[in-house]
A and B are shown apart, each in its own frame.
Chain A
Amino acid sequence: MAPPTSSQIKPGRTLLALLVIILAMGATVVFQKAFVPKFGLDLAGGTTVTLSPVTSDGKAPPQESLDRAVSIIRDRVNGTGISDAEVARSGDNIVISVPGAGRDEAIKLVATTAEMRFRQVLAVAAASTPPATLPTTAATPNSPAVTPSAGASPAGRAVSKALAEPTPTPTVTRRARSHTATGEKSEAGTRGKAAPSPTPTPSAPAGEEDPLAGQDLTGIDPATLQRFRTIDCSAKNRGQGAQDDPNKQIVACSQDGTARYILDKAAVQGSQITTASAGVRQDTGEWVVNLDFKSQGASQWSDLTAKAFGAQPPRNQIGVVLDGLVITAPASNGRIPGGKTEISGGFTQQTATELADQLKYGALPLKFVQSSVVSVSSTLGQDQLRGGLISGAIGLLIVMVYLLLYYRGLGAIGIASLGVATIVTYLSVAVLSANVGFRWSLPHIIGLVVSIGITADSFIVYFERIRDEIKEGRRTLRAAVEVAWRRAKRTILVADAVMFIAAVVLYFLAVGGVAGFAFAMGLTTLIDIVVVFLFTKPLMSLAARLRFFSKGHKLSGLDAERMGRTSGTEQTLQEA
């Protein structure tokens, strides 16, 4: 065994490093005023819905369609005016968290399956609101165009035969459509925040005219007309998520809330779409969306495009209705037999891909079931939080008392280490909560409490090693502390690595609470290593210089009697 080289260790410097870390974290907490970490819904109260996809073959659904579903559901949730809801994927499941109580309606709305339908446009107008509320946005339908908001497609869209004779920029479409795919994107991006739709700014002068003035209203149900006049497409809740009846005429807003439509009965179902993809047209280099239908859908599509082509604007447009909103309404350039279709007009790569995804996945029969709906009242949440914190405090206290009784002076070092570990844990929790948006739930807190044992064990391993060295009787305490550390260090690292592997595996493979629990366990394992290396060990080195410890005072936990060593002269047993 190598002689101890205590000169290489500078315990004071290590302790200082830890102090700097703690102060930095503390300063972050104070600076960000993040004293109380944010709590999950099981502690703060609220509703959590877990949606599981149901596929016909029982296999895992495609990842893109899940992402798509998340984005659709997020839109719906934001649309209902719930500003603080979160929609997130958890494996193959979608978890919707709505803080607060009484959100049953929102949850019902959120969980419905998205169905896509193609309908002929019967009438269209800007997203006018009743003049009393927002007079400036009222627009006449015959104004040349609904001015697109930023990022909108500049030109109208058209459907034409794919791979057929290339039609240059569509001529049949007069009405500019403002399909702001980019606007929709940003809406999806601001998860959990209020996501106002882009404010429609029609260029037309404000007026009190009937939005339907001058349009052909034949064949439109009076009730539908009435609804069209009152609908407010600039409102947050503009009917997204509504289940439209395929056998009835409907009123719907455009996705970005800049236009409103009356649409005919559904002519083609979205489930008839076989493929949809974004691509660049060879001759003009512009972005288009290519679309194909199943055989039944193709013949329906052929009829629909022919009917629309023969009609006067705006009835030459075909509205694609997804989730209660018109995602696009291209004009027909002629009958499209065989299904192969191209939608063109002012697409960018992003908007084309987006629409293709919507056509493809919006139509996908990705059915969800509500696997679990958990609604926790705020009082129950507080009870749980209190229970968790109290048990944590009691657990910590018992362990500290035990360490003190068993290890005496060494125990005091253990207690100090646990104290530091507690501080570092609290600071990490606060910092994570403030900066990564981490929400602490009951499983996290339990994980932290359970991990007290792991943290304490590192000290025990080390203390036992020191006692072993002393027992062998050849060393001074100062030397024993260093030799014992070299051996204990390895044990602590290996054992903590096992714990950490367990935490990582659980975190990535488990669902729900288990993942939170695993996170807390992994975090404490890391903190344990930090505390043992940067605090316990250097403190022990310093303590070894004290007479209290080095002379084996009765209360130091290192006294000769308790070590089973009565006096130095009896140390006859030496290792060979």
Chain B
Amino acid sequence: MPGIISRLYRGDIDIDFVGKRKLWYGLSALLMAVSILGMVIHGLNLGVEFRGGSVFEFPRAASSSVEEVRETIHEEGVHQVIVQQAGPNWRVTTESLDTNEVPKVQQAVAKKYHVDVDEVSTQVIGATWGGEVAKKAWIGLAVFMLAIMLYLSLAFEWRMALAAIVALVHDLVITAGIYAWSGFEVTPATMLGFLTILGYSLYDAVVVFDMIKEVTGKLGTSAKMTYTQAANNALSHTLIRSLNTSLVAILPVAAILFIGTTLLGAGTLKDLSLALFVGMVVGTYSSLCVATPILVTLKEREPQWQALAKRVAQREASAAKAAAADARGSKQTVGASSQNGAAASEDDKRKKR
């Protein structure tokens, strides 16, 4: 549909994100419920870095098979052996081995597959380490949210800060839900991804809010638009930028995901970019359909904007009468929220006077 694309390009679109906020709230509530359900039923598939365990990685010989590798390591008295293909390497995950067992496995593998012992990468993670990493992440998250609340309250106002934080929690819960349902492994790299999403999510919300602030700042006491309409207007204005930004942000991440999967297999790159990829998709949705609607809900409770909404409603009622008389009025699509509509109504108003 070239029509829509070119209209999108020109920023000449008018989607009522804010007006349909009940729909978005419902959708988001559903998604969050499903996500939480997934976390309760399935839980997150925590990686070896959180559970504790050992990982061996070594060059994959052409002739070796998964069963063969598993057997080789079994023979060293290791019980839980998971063998994965990781790019040009084998990646073997086992229970946590002690400092004596690790070199044994290393040597056995090196001998069997004719590689140098030093070519066998190892990783041993104690069972408590993951807990500490997770604890640090939670503290980081809490401090981060406080800092952002404070900053946004100063740069904008507390309602915007609250709306941004709610959208952020929304993103996190849904991303975690996707991980729970899909069974993707959660590693420290995944957490890196989560934390980056927070930044992006806020970044996007800030750009939208900045525009809303600018647009609503002009509203003053004129009865042209309600806060809701103005906010929607601002959102439409920045929509093209939001989509562009998201796309531009996702593209390099998709590149990492692609390279990480094809070239390296399981590992930091893949885990991280998967989290980023999932999170950015969710984040783009939330900055449009969650952050701004919540802000509007909060703002419309303020007396100033309630009064404005009343005035606009009155004026629109009379404008509608005039429009009904004028057949051309029916061509207006969603109405007063677009600049066209607003300006047209303005003309009507002048006529009446």
Q: Residues of A with Cβ closer than 8 Å to B?
A: 50, 52, 91, 93, 101-102, 104, 107-108, 369-380, 383-384, 386-388, 390-392, 394-396, 398-399, 402-403, 406, 442-443, 446, 449-450, 452-454, 456-457, 460-461, 464, 467-468, 471, 487, 490-491, 494-495, 497-499, 501-503, 505-506, 509-514, 517-518, 521, 562-564, 573-576
Is B170 among interface residues, defined by CB-CB distance under 8 A?
no
Chain A residues contacting B255 (CB-CB under 8 Å) are 391-392, 394-395, 398, 449
| CB <8 Å contact, B259 and A563 | no
Q: Mark B99-129, 1 if CB is under 8 A from A, else 0.
A: 1001100000000000001111111111011
Question: Of B103, B144, B240, B245, which is within 8 A of A457 by CB?
Answer: B245
Contacts A372-B125, A406-B244, A495-B203 known; A573 to B343 CB distance under 8 Å?
yes
Least CB distance from B98 to A in Å reads 9
Chain A contacts of B147 at CB under 8 A?
A: 501, 505
Residue contact B252 to A391, C-beta cutoff 8 Å: yes
Closest to B256 in A: A391
* Chain A nearest Cβ from B86, distance in angstroms: 9
Which of the 9-residue segments B22-30, B63-71, B189-197 touches chain A?
A: B189-197
B124 partner residues in chain A, CB cutoff 8 A: 370, 372-374
Give the shortest distance, in Å, between B190 (CB) and chain A (any CB): 11
Chain B interface mostly? helix
B249 surroundings in chain A (CB, below 8 A): 450, 453-454, 456-457
Tell me the chain B residues, 230-283 only, with Cβ under 8 Å from chain A: 237-238, 240-241, 244-245, 247-256, 258-260, 263-264, 267-269, 272-273, 276
B237 to chain A, nearest CB (A): 7
Q: Please tell me if the beta carbons of A372 and B140 are within 8 angstroms of each other in the complex.
A: no
Determine, out of B6-14, B307-315, B317-325, the stretch whose residues face the partner at the interface.
Answer: B6-14
Residues in B neighbouring A104, C-beta threshold 8 A: 99, 103
CA distance A399 to B249 in the complex (A): 8
**Residues from chain A with Cβ under 8 Å of B137 in the complex:** 510, 514
Once the chains are docked, how many angstroms separate the CA of A514 from the CA of B139? Answer: 13
Among B30-52, those with CB < 8 Å from A are 49
Given A372-B124, A398-B252, A514:B191 Cβ within 8 A: yes
**11 more A-B residue pairs beyond the given contacts A102-B118, A501-B147, with a C-beta to C-beta distance below 8 A:** A374-B122, A377-B121, A380-B121, A383-B263, A390-B259, A399-B248, A454-B203, A461-B241, A464-B11, A464-B240, A564-B7
B79 at the interface (CB under 8 A from A): no
Q: Which of A386, A457, A505, A511 contacts B203 (CB 8 A)?
A: A457
Contact B192 A513 (CB under 8 A): yes
Q: A101 contacts which of B118, B245, B247, B253 (Cβ < 8 Å)?
A: B118
Given A383-B87, A453-B245, A487-B214, A468:B237 Cβ within 8 A: yes
Cβ A576 vs Cβ B10 within 8 A? no
Q: Which residues on the B side are within 8 Å of A490 (C-beta)?
A: 210
Q: How many A-B residue pairs have CB under 8 A?
A: 256
B88 in the interface (beta carbon within 8 A): yes
Residues from chain A with Cβ under 8 Å of B188 in the complex:
512-514
* B199 on interface, CB distance cutoff 8 Å: yes
Chain B, residue nearest A407 (CB): B244
**Given contacts A374-B123, A450-B252, A499-B203, are A506 and B128 in contact (CB under 8 A)?**
no
Tell me, in angstroms, the Cα distance from A386 to B120 when the chains sit together.
19
The 8 closest A-B pairs by CB, nearest first: A395-B252, A453-B249, A564-B10, A101-B118, A371-B129, A509-B140, A395-B255, A391-B259
CB distance A576 to B222 under 8 Å? yes
Whether B203 and A513, one on each chain, are in contact in the complex, defined by CB atoms closer than 8 angstroms, is: no
Cβ contacts under 8 Å, B250 to chain A: 453
Instruction: Collect the chain A residues with CB atoms within 8 Å of residue B340's CB.
Output: 573
Q: Known interface pairs A395-B252, A495-B206, A501-B144. Does A371 touch B11 (Cβ–Cβ under 8 Å)?
A: no
Q: If A372-B129, A373-B122, A450-B253 touch, does A511 touch B268 (CB 8 Å cutoff)?
A: no
Instruction: Report Cα–Cα, A400/B218, bound state, in Å.
Output: 36
In the complex, the answer to whether B346 meets A576 with C-beta atoms within 8 Å is: yes
In the assembly, what is the distance between CA of A467 and CA of B213, in Å? 19
Known: A372-B123, A576-B224. A388 touches B11 (CB 8 A): no
How many residues on chain B are close to A (CB under 8 Å)? 91
Partner of B252, one of A376, A396, A460, A506: A396
CB distance from B201 to the nearest CB of A (A): 10
Given contacts A468-B11, A494-B210, A514-B192, whether A383 and B88 have CB atoms under 8 Å apart is: yes
Q: How far is the CA of A563 from the CA of B247 in the complex (A)?
A: 21
B78 CB–A CB distance under 8 Å: no
Question: Do A449 and B203 form a contact, CB below 8 Å, given A369-B126, A464-B240?
Answer: no
| Bound-state Cα–Cα, A512 to B238, Å | 37
A442 contacts across to B, CB distance below 8 A = 268-269
- Write out the residue numbers on chain A whose beta carbons fall within 8 Å of the beta carbon of B195: 502, 506, 510, 514, 517-518
Report B-chain residues with C-beta under 8 Å of the C-beta of A102. Answer: 117-118
Given known pairs A399-B251, A502-B195, A505-B147, the reply for A384 and B268 (CB within 8 Å) is yes
Residues of B contacting A380 with CB < 8 Å? 57, 89, 121
Pair A464/B241 contact, Cβ less than 8 Å: yes
Chain A proximity of B277: nearest CB distance (Å): 11
State whether A563 touches B10 (Cβ < 8 A): yes
Q: Is the CB of B248 within 8 A of A391?
A: no
Least CB separation from B253: chain A residue: A450
Most chain A beta-carbon neighbours within 10 Å: one of B207, B211, B247, B339: B207
**Given the contacts A383-B87, A505-B147, A453 and B248 also touching, CB distance less than 8 Å:** yes
A402 and B57 form a contact (CB under 8 A): no
Q: How far is the CA of A498 from the CA of B88 in the complex (A)?
A: 39
Q: How far is the CA of A378 from the CA of B121 in the complex (A)?
A: 9
A-B contact pairs, 18 of them (CB 8 A): A101-B118, A108-B99, A372-B123, A373-B124, A375-B121, A377-B120, A380-B89, A390-B263, A406-B9, A443-B192, A450-B253, A456-B245, A491-B206, A505-B147, A514-B192, A517-B195, A564-B7, A575-B218
B6 CB contacts on chain A under 8 angstroms: 562
By a CB distance below 8 angstroms, the chain A residues around B268 are 384, 442-443, 446, 513
CB-based contact B203/A564 at 8 Å: no
Q: Pick the most buried of B199, B211, B268: most chain A CB atoms within 10 A of its CB.
A: B199
Shortest Cβ distance from residue B189 to the other chain A in the assembled complex, whole angstroms: 7
Give the nearest-CB partner of B126 in chain A.
A371
Q: Which chain B residue has the least Cβ–Cβ distance from A509? A: B140
Which residues of chain B come closer than 8 Å to A52, judged between CB atoms? 126, 128-129, 132
Nearest Cβ on chain A to B122's Cβ, whole angstroms:
5
CB of B148 within 8 A of chain A? Answer: yes
Interchain CB contact (< 8 A) of A517 among B192, B202, B206? B192
- CB distance A513 to B11 under 8 Å? no
- A-contact 0/1 string along B332-344, CB 8 Å cutoff: 0000000110010
Q: How far is the CA of A502 from the CA of B267 in the complex (A)?
A: 24
Give Cα distance in the complex from A456 to B248, angstroms. 7
Residues in A neighbouring B206, C-beta threshold 8 A = 491, 494-495, 498
Query: How far is it, in angstroms, between the C-alpha of A388 and the C-alpha of B253 when the chains are bound?
Result: 11
Question: Which of chain A's residues has its CB closest to B100's CB?
Answer: A108
Residues of A within 8 A of B210 (CB): 490-491, 494-495
**A460:B244 contact, CB within 8 angstroms:** yes
Query: Is B133 among interface residues, defined by CB-CB distance under 8 A?
Result: yes
Q: A208 CA to B328 CA in the complex, in Å? A: 117
For B88, give the chain A residue with the smallest CB separation: A383
Q: Is B155 an interface position by the 8 A CB rule?
A: yes
Cβ of A505 and Cβ of B140 under 8 Å apart? yes
CA distance A383 to B340 in the complex (A): 56
Taking the closest CB of chain A, its distance from the CB of B63, in whole angstroms, is: 19
Cβ of B136 < 8 Å from any Cβ of A? yes
A227 to B276: give the CA distance in the assembly, Å: 60
Alpha-carbon distance A396/B253, docked complex (angstroms): 10
Q: Are B192 and A395 in touch, CB under 8 angstroms? A: no
Cβ of B178 within 8 Å of any chain A Cβ, yes or no, is no
State the CA gap A220–B316 with chains docked (Å): 107
Q: In the bound complex, do residue A502 and residue B144 qualify as a contact, i.e. CB atoms below 8 Å apart?
A: yes
Residue of B nearest to A503 (CB): B199
Shortest Cβ distance from residue B131 to the other chain A in the assembled complex, whole angstroms: 10
Docked pose: A108 CA to B102 CA in angstroms? 12
Do residues B121 and A376 form an inter-chain contact, with CB atoms below 8 A?
Answer: yes
